[in-house]
Amino acid sequence: MKTKKLKNLIKKAKDELSWDTRELAQESGPMRIFSDPVAKTHTIFLPSAPAEEGPVQELLYLHELGHALLCERVHPFFSSVFPIAGLDDKRQVPAVSPVLCVASDWFVGHWMMEFCPDVAIDELKKEYQATAVMMEKGETRSIDKFFVAVLITAQSVKYLKAPVECSGFLDSAVKAFLAVPPEKPSLQKIENLINSLLSLGSPFQCRHVSDGGQDVMEFYKPSEEPIMAPFGE
């Protein structure tokens, strides 16, 4: 994929944003977008020395803009970062973070399929091939890699009609994605997907609550009382 075409797509996506947007350089870490629904701003953090130049970096930029657009149009829980409650920062947050990431990526991936289908399909084909090789070698031992592999597998079944044969935990995880259509994203859909994925191995469930006028994703154990009052009560 040519960088020029991707740059044009990035410009088109940025033009669709309604909130103020700015770019800031950062010394380390991957490119990321922080969306502030209170101030209605997007801050794009760009690495001063990206690990990879060219199309890879441009695709990541476009993907992050998808998060920003869904944040504006649907709900802040579709952004890359949003407030959460009910979890221990050091141990429990890292355990659920992979689920939160792939859940929103399920919807951002569909946005890309609608926004730039040729680019999205071409990239998914490459990711599917790489994922198939990785899984054959048994290289999905970390929870992060596993859920990314599940996401790509589910996307391949939906968009590529790939003849994927899954079993056990992997099959259940793929079906959890496919049970939540990414078309017409909503707050209820992303909550349903997160909870379906969490139910595969985590003791937690989540729901949105109101805290000072801002929506917060609260995690709780179904057997225990939630920490905050539910939204709307």
Asked whether 170 and 156 are in contact (CB, 8 A), the reply is no
Is there a contact between 36 and 43 (Cβ–Cβ < 8 Å)? Answer: yes
Q: Give residues with Cβ within 8 angstroms of 168, minimum separation 6.
A: none
Element (H, E) at 26: strand 20-26
Q: Which of 71, 59, 169, 33 is nearest to 116 (CA)?
A: 59
What CA–CA distance (Å, rounded) separates 206 from 194?
8
Confirm if 195 and 187 have CB atoms less than 8 A apart.
no
pLDDT of residue 227: 45
Query: Please, what is the Cα angle at 127 between 78 and 4, to 5 degrees?
Result: 80
Could you tell me the residue ranges of all domains in the chain?
1-82
With contact defined as beta carbons under 8 Å apart, do 124 and 159 qualify? yes
Q: Are 68 and 42 in contact (CB under 8 A)?
A: yes
Give DSSP secondary structure letters for 146-185.
HHHHHHHHHHHHHHS-------HHHHHHHHHHHTS--SS-
Q: Which DSSP string do the residues of 37-89 spell out, in sequence order?
A: TTTTEEEEEEESS-SS-THHHHHHHHHHHHHHHHHHHT-GGGSS---EESS-T
Supply the pLDDT for residue 149: 92
Partner residues linked to 32 by β-bridges: 45
Distance CA 74, CA 101 (A): 16
Longest CA span, the chain: 53
Q: What is the pLDDT of residue 136?
A: 76
DSSP state of 229: P
pLDDT value of position 212: 82
**Residue 1: what pLDDT?**
57
Q: In the numeric block, which tokens belong to residue 55?
A: 């199309």
The pLDDT value given to residue 199: 93
| pLDDT score of 20 | 96
What distance in Å separates the CA atoms of residue 192 and residue 206, rounded to the nearest whole number?
A: 9
Q: What averages of pLDDT result for each successive group of 10 residues across the chain (233 residues)?
A: 85 97 86 93 84 78 96 95 86 89 97 97 94 76 86 96 82 95 97 95 92 90 58 32
What are 156's two structure tokens?
């391949």
